[in-house]
Structure 1
Amino acid sequence: MPHTDQIQALSEFLLEYATTLMGAGVHTNRAVRNISRIAAAYGYAADMTIFQRNITMSLISTDDENLRRTSVRKLKPLAFNLNLIQQLSELSWLPVDNNVSIEEMERAFRSIAATKRFSPWTDLLLVSVGNAAFCRLFNGDIWAMLTVFGATLLGFLAKQQFSRLKFNPLGVVILSAFTASMAAACAVIFQFGETPQIALATSVLFLVPGVQMINSIMDLMHGHILMGISRGVHSIMIITCITIGLSATMLILGVNSL
Structure 2
Amino acid sequence: MQHTDQIQALSEFLLEYATTLMGAGVHTNRAVRNISRIASAYGYSADMTIFQRNITMSLICKDDETLRRTSVRKLKPLAFNLNLIQQLSELSWLPVDNNVSIAEMEQAFRSMVRTKRFSRWTDLLLVSVGNAAFCRLFNGDLWAMLTVFAATMLGFLAKQQLTRLKYNPLGVIILSAFTASMAAACAVLFQIGSTPQIALAASVLFLVPGVQMINSIMDLMHGHILMGISRGIHSIMMIACIAIGLSATMLIVGVNSL
Q: Same fold (TM over 0.5)?
A: yes
The separation in 2 between residues aligned to 1:252 and 1:168, in whole angstroms, is: 24
Q: CA deviation at 1:254?
A: 0.7
Q: Report SS of the residue matched to 1:48.
A: strand
Q: CA deviation at 1:226?
A: 0.2
Using the size of structure 1 for normalisation, the TM-score is 1.00
Using the size of structure 2 for normalisation, the TM-score is 1.00
The one-character-per-residue Cα deviations of 1:99-150 (angstroms, maximum 9, x if unpaired) are 0000000000000000000000000000000000000000000000000000
Indicate the residue corresponding to 1:157 in structure 2.
157
The one-character-per-residue Cα deviations of 1:42-66 (angstroms, maximum 9, x if unpaired) are 0000000000000000000000000
Matched to 2:22, the amino acid is: M
Indicate the residue corresponding to 1:33 in structure 2.
33
Q: CA deviation at 1:247?
A: 0.2
The one-character-per-residue Cα deviations of 1:179-214 (angstroms, maximum 9, x if unpaired) are 000000000010011100000000000000000000
Indicate the residue corresponding to 1:188 in structure 2.
188
The 5-angstrom pairing of residues 3-82 of structure 1 reads 3-82=3-82
Q: CA deviation at 1:160?
A: 0.2
Indicate the residue corresponding to 2:96 in structure 1.
96
The separation in 2 between residues aligned to 1:15 and 1:89, in whole angstroms, is: 15
The one-character-per-residue Cα deviations of 1:223-249 (angstroms, maximum 9, x if unpaired) are 000000000000000000000000000
The separation in 2 between residues aligned to 1:21 and 1:127, in whole angstroms, is: 23
Q: Report SS of the residue matched to 2:230.
A: helix
The separation in 1 between residues aligned to 2:100 and 2:2, in whole angstroms, is: 16
Q: Report SS of the residue matched to 2:45.
A: strand
Aligned length: 258
RMSD over equivalenced CA pairs, Å: 0.5
The separation in 1 between residues aligned to 2:190 and 2:173, in whole angstroms, is: 26
The separation in 2 between residues aligned to 1:165 and 1:41, in whole angstroms, is: 42
What are structure 1's unaligned runs of at least 5 residues?
none
The separation in 2 between residues aligned to 1:122 and 1:233, in whole angstroms, is: 31
The separation in 2 between residues aligned to 1:225 and 1:192, in whole angstroms, is: 47
The separation in 1 between residues aligned to 2:85 and 2:253, in whole angstroms, is: 43
Indicate whether 1:176 and 2:176 are aligned. Answer: yes
Q: Report SS of the residue matched to 2:48.
A: strand
Indicate the residue corresponding to 2:199 in structure 1.
199
The separation in 1 between residues aligned to 2:243 and 2:76, in whole angstroms, is: 27
The separation in 2 between residues aligned to 1:115 and 1:216, in whole angstroms, is: 28
The separation in 2 between residues aligned to 1:82 and 1:253, in whole angstroms, is: 38
The one-character-per-residue Cα deviations of 1:35-89 (angstroms, maximum 9, x if unpaired) are 0000000000000000000000000000000000000000000000000000000
Indicate the residue corresponding to 1:210 in structure 2.
210
Q: CA deviation at 1:22?
A: 0.2
